[in-house]
Amino acid sequence: MSFKRRPLIAGNWKMNGLLDFVKNLAGVLADKVDQNDPTHFDMLICPPATLLHPIKILVGKSGLLLGGQDCHMAKSGAHTGDISAEMLKDLGSSHVIVGHSERRVDYNETNEVVKSKAEAALGVNLTAIICVGETEAERNQGITVDVVKSQILGSIPERATAENIIIAYEPVWAIGTGQTPTKGQVQEVHVLIRKTLGDKIGLKEAEQTRLLYGGSVKPSNAIELMDLNDVDGALVGGASLSPIDFWVIAESCPK
């Protein structure tokens, strides 16, 4: 029998949210998580780093998890404008996203850079959510499998385990566009990711590692996506800015 992985619904607020979001979004979600305890999923929000502290104060010991959207690969030092993994941890984060396609594109982050960031996260006991995914041109060229495989092999630290990493498959062409791959395409890439992970960290760890799908997840498509065998939750951008939509997506995870 295959291992039962607990779903994770993660919200990536990106560069959105001022102080008024704290109560209206994080506060509402924290209340929902607590009122529905025990939930059949974990819920994580990754707000801008500027909001981590006020959110932590507000949600306190709630079951709502907090994470960062990126971290620097170094522990500390002369890196103006950057944030270390330890700083995120200090503000109550348990997770950090690394290698999001917006970072890979906007800041030329290579697999090596992403791997170093993931290593920095693991170094302070943060779980690294490592993002991979092909562009539209790569899908059209038929090289999705090669691209995702090399991103996995190149971005995952040697000490990765099912406990300290999560993989998010986010086809770049599906992010913020309203387009999503077919169920078959998503499952195919998730199987490939699990197999590649198996080669790298061992079959048992790979079987237990959570693989999220991301890219235009919304209430109307969440059930069919979350129902796929190798999809263990979602990384949600736009729809995570609405507490109602985000909660509906989370409730779509199979029990």
Q: Which positions touch ligand PGA (CB under 6 A)?
A: 12, 170, 175-176, 214-217, 235-239
Q: Considering beta carbons, is residue 12 or 62 the nearer one to ligand PGA?
A: 12
- Dmax over CA atoms of the chain, in Å, equals 50
**Is the separation of the CB atoms in 192 and 148 below 8 Å?**
yes
Alpha carbons 172 and 189: distance in angstroms, whole number: 14
Q: Considering beta carbons, is residue 60 or 176 the nearer one to ligand PGA?
A: 176
Alpha carbons 1 and 17: distance in angstroms, whole number: 43
Q: Catalytic one among 86, 109, 134, 170?
A: 170
Nearest-approach distance from CB 131 to ligand PGA, in angstroms: 7
- Taking residue 1's Cβ as centre, other Cβ atoms within 10 Å add up to 3
Alpha carbons 231 and 10: distance in angstroms, whole number: 13
Nearest-approach distance from CB 10 to ligand PGA, in angstroms: 8
DSSP string computed for 136-173: HHHHHTT-HHHHHHHHHHHHS-TT--TTTEEEEE--GG
Alpha carbons 212 and 35: distance in angstroms, whole number: 25
Strands 65-68 and 95-98 turn out to be parallel
Q: Considering beta carbons, is residue 72 or 104 the nearer one to ligand PGA?
A: 104
Nearest-approach distance from CB 84 to ligand PGA, in angstroms: 22
Q: Which helix (H) or strand (E) covers residue 244, if one does?
A: helix 243-251
170 is catalytic: yes
Q: Is 118 helix (H, G, I), strand (E, B) or coil?
A: helix
**Single-letter amino acid, residue 94:** S
72 is catalytic: no
Q: Considering beta carbons, is residue 192 or 241 the nearer one to ligand PGA?
A: 241
Q: Considering beta carbons, is residue 181 or 238 the nearer one to ligand PGA?
A: 238
Q: Which residue is nearest to ligand PGA (CB)?
A: 237
Nearest-approach distance from CB 234 to ligand PGA, in angstroms: 8
Nearest-approach distance from CB 93 to ligand PGA, in angstroms: 17
Q: Catalytic one among 100, 119, 134, 138?
A: 100
Q: Considering beta carbons, is residue 67 or 214 the nearer one to ligand PGA?
A: 214
Nearest-approach distance from CB 175 to ligand PGA, in angstroms: 4
Q: Which residue has the tokens 């619904």?
A: 9
Torsion angle (degrees, nearest 10) of CA 100, 33, 2, 186:
-40
Task: Please list the active-site residues.
Answer: 100, 170
